[in-house]
């Protein structure tokens, strides 16, 4: 196996993520990271802005709700993502073919495959003519399937939810549901066939292998187990899928571990350096890159991870490795950043930090100030 250093891996990932060579549009940035994690929309807006040239949070919102070059839907690990609209059919194909673990629910909560299919069809029909809140979908789904779909058996944030709601992400993977524009403070769902121009459903020419290759192009080198962690599927099932892809993959030795890259672009690219980058909460670089022991060395593992989970802290990257944490607080038209490096920065790196702070301010459409010191704010859970 060809050796592949950690510095080479970081340089490749930073380049592929648009962090060392910014991209033109939010849709380009979402494509570069294989879907932008958007459980916290403000973090997604900042992460997309940091990967593009001259984009602000308003530009991201316009791309999502006006230009519709982005679509908000469900993705890996069942979490909310922003996806380039031209990728939606392939996105759905890969996720619907992923080897999801059977939900370990008590018998009172479970649904048969037939019931899942009925609910997906009901969602498809209900959203074909109108954008609906989840409460409005409750009524529509039960009317189109039966009382069993409305049984209050799923524990939710505010009580018990109807049985059918466990299928919402599945409906998104099957191409019949995505997020619509908010109605006041209420989230709505809509049909991708109405919302996304040219969308024709799950792309029959794509599937799980294409999604795995997309991940490896952006986050590789990586092991099959690390791909499974990103997707949120059982490692054994994912390893079996990867084993069938040997002609499309090449193995490299990443710091003593056999890791995978797409065969057509397995050579290193990007120039290793020690440049400073700021990455917000749940940035895909820190969530999707491995191994954690190299990405979060020393103090970074204790200060920037939460029980091994990445993304709960906004982090400082130096050369693609976590080397500090930061936090921002907005007040009116101002945003105050507190940055805590875990080691002393050179004069050049301090200038780069100033540049990053200015970029954050521009993206957030606010005037930034910088304090280098201890971050007292807690983790984002």
Cis amide leading into 162 (omega within 30): no
62: confidence class by pLDDT, cuts 50, 70, 90: very high
Pair 188, 303 in one domain = no
- Mean pLDDT along residues 306-312: 92
Cis amide leading into 300 (omega within 30): no
Would the pLDDT of 105 be above 90? no
- Mean pLDDT along residues 129-156: 96
Cβ pair 201, 189 in contact under 8 A: no
334, β-bridge pairs? 331, 367
d(CA 98, CA 170): 11
| Number of residues assigned to the chain | 381
Q: Which of 179, 195, 211 is the last residue of a domain?
A: 195
Pair 127, 10 in one domain = yes
Tokens for 129?
Answer: 């003519």
Is 235 part of any domain? no
Pair 182, 311 in one domain = no
- Which helix (H) or strand (E) segment holds residue 365: the answer is none
Residues 6+ apart with CB under 8 A from 294: 6, 255, 321
pLDDT value of position 107: 86
Would the pLDDT of 157 be above 90? no
d(CA 155, CA 329): 33
- Mean pLDDT along residues 99-124: 91
Pair 184, 288 in one domain = no
Distances (CA, A) of 91 to 13, 82, 189: 21, 11, 18
Tokens for 35?
Answer: 């879907």
381: confidence class by pLDDT, cuts 50, 70, 90: low
Residue given tokens 């996105």 in the structure block = 91
Would the pLDDT of 104 be above 80? no
Mean pLDDT of the chain: 95
Q: pLDDT of 248-264, one tens digit each?
A: 999 999 989 999 999 99
Is 47 part of any domain? yes
37, β-bridge pairs? 81
Pair 191, 293 in one domain = no
Total tally of structural domains belonging to the chain: 2
Would the pLDDT of 229 be above 80? yes
- Percentage above 70 pLDDT, the chain: 99
Is 200 part of any domain? no
- Mean pLDDT along residues 38-54: 97
Is 244 part of any domain? no
Domain that holds residue 283: 276-372
161: confidence class by pLDDT, cuts 50, 70, 90: very high
Pair 280, 187 in one domain = no
d(CA 243, CA 195): 37
Pair 168, 50 in one domain = yes
Q: Which of 195, 223, 248 is the last residue of a domain?
A: 195
- Mean pLDDT along residues 302-323: 95
Pair 179, 87 in one domain = yes
Pair 296, 191 in one domain = no
Cβ pair 208, 241 in contact under 8 A: yes
Tokens for 334?
Answer: 């101002």
Q: E strands within the chain?
A: 2-4, 36-37, 70-74, 80-84, 152-156, 159-162, 178-183, 186-190, 249-254, 257-262, 276-279, 314-318, 321-331, 334-341, 367-372
203: confidence class by pLDDT, cuts 50, 70, 90: confident
Is 217 part of any domain? no
Cβ pair 177, 119 in contact under 8 A: no
Pair 177, 297 in one domain = no
Closest CA to 286 of 309, 269, 268: 309
Would the pLDDT of 145 be above 70? yes
User: DSSP of 33-90, one letter per residue?
Assistant: TTSEE-SSHHHHHHHHHTTBSS--HHHHHHHHHTS-SEEEEE-GGG-EEEEEGGGHHH
Is 306 part of any domain? yes
Backbone angles phi, psi at 182, to 5 degrees: -60, 145
Q: pLDDT of 327-361, one tens digit each?
A: 999 999 999 999 999 999 999 999 999 999 999 99
Would the pLDDT of 307 be above 80? yes
Pair 144, 290 in one domain = no
Would the pLDDT of 303 be above 70? yes
Residues 6+ apart with CB under 8 A from 309: none
Pair 37, 172 in one domain = yes
180, β-bridge pairs? 188
Lowest-confidence pick of 78-87, 93-102, 246-255, 266-275 = 266-275
Q: Which of 129, 164, 195 is the last residue of a domain?
A: 195
Residue 265 vs residue 35, higher pLDDT: 35
């Amino acid at each position: 196996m060809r050796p592949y250093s950690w510095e080479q891996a970081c340089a490749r990932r930073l380049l592929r993520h648009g962090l060392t060579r910014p991209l033109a549009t939010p849709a380009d940035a979402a494509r570069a990271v294989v879907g932008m994690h958007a459980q916290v929309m403000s973090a997604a807006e900042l992460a997309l802005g940091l990967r593009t040239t001259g984009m602000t949070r308003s530009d991201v919102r316009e791309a999502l709700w006006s230009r519709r070059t982005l679509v908000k839907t469900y993705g890996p690990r069942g979490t909310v993502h922003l996806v380039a609209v031209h990728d939606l059919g392939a996105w759905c194909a890969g996720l619907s073919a992923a080897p999801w673990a059977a939900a370990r629910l008590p018998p009172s909560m479970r649904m048969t495959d037939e019931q899942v299919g009925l609910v997906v069809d009901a969602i498809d029909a209900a959203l074909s003519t109108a954008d609906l809140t989840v409460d409005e979908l409750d009524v529509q789904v039960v009317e189109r399937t039966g009382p069993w779909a409305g049984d209050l058996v799923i524990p939710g944030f505010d009580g018990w939810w109807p049985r059918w709601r466990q299928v919402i992400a599945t409906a998104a993977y099957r191409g019949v549901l995505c997020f619509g524009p908010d109605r006041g403070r209420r989230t709505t769902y809509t049909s991708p066939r109405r919302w996304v121009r040219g969308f024709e459903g799950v792309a029959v020419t794509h599937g799980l292998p294409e999604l795995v290759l997309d991940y490896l192009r952006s986050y590789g080198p990586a092991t099959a187990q690390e791909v499974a962690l990103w997707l949120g599927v059982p490692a054994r099932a994912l390893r079996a899928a990867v084993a069938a892809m040997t002609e499309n993959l090449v193995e490299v030795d990443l710091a003593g571990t056999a890791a995978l890259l797409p065969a057509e672009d397995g050579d290193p690219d990007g120039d290793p350096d020690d440049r400073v980058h700021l990455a917000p909460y749940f940035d895909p670089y820190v969530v999707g890159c491995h191994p954690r022991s190299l990405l979060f060395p020393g103090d970074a593992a204790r200060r920037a991870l939460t029980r091994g989970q990445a993304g709960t802290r906004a982090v400082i990257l130096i050369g693609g490795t976590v080397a500090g944490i930061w936090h921002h607080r907005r007040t009116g038209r101002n945003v105050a950043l507190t940055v805590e490096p875990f080691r002393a920065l050179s004069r050049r790196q301090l200038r780069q930090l100033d540049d990053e702070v200015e970029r954050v301010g521009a993206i957030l459409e606010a005037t930034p100030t910088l304090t280098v010191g201890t971050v007292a704010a807690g983790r984002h859970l």
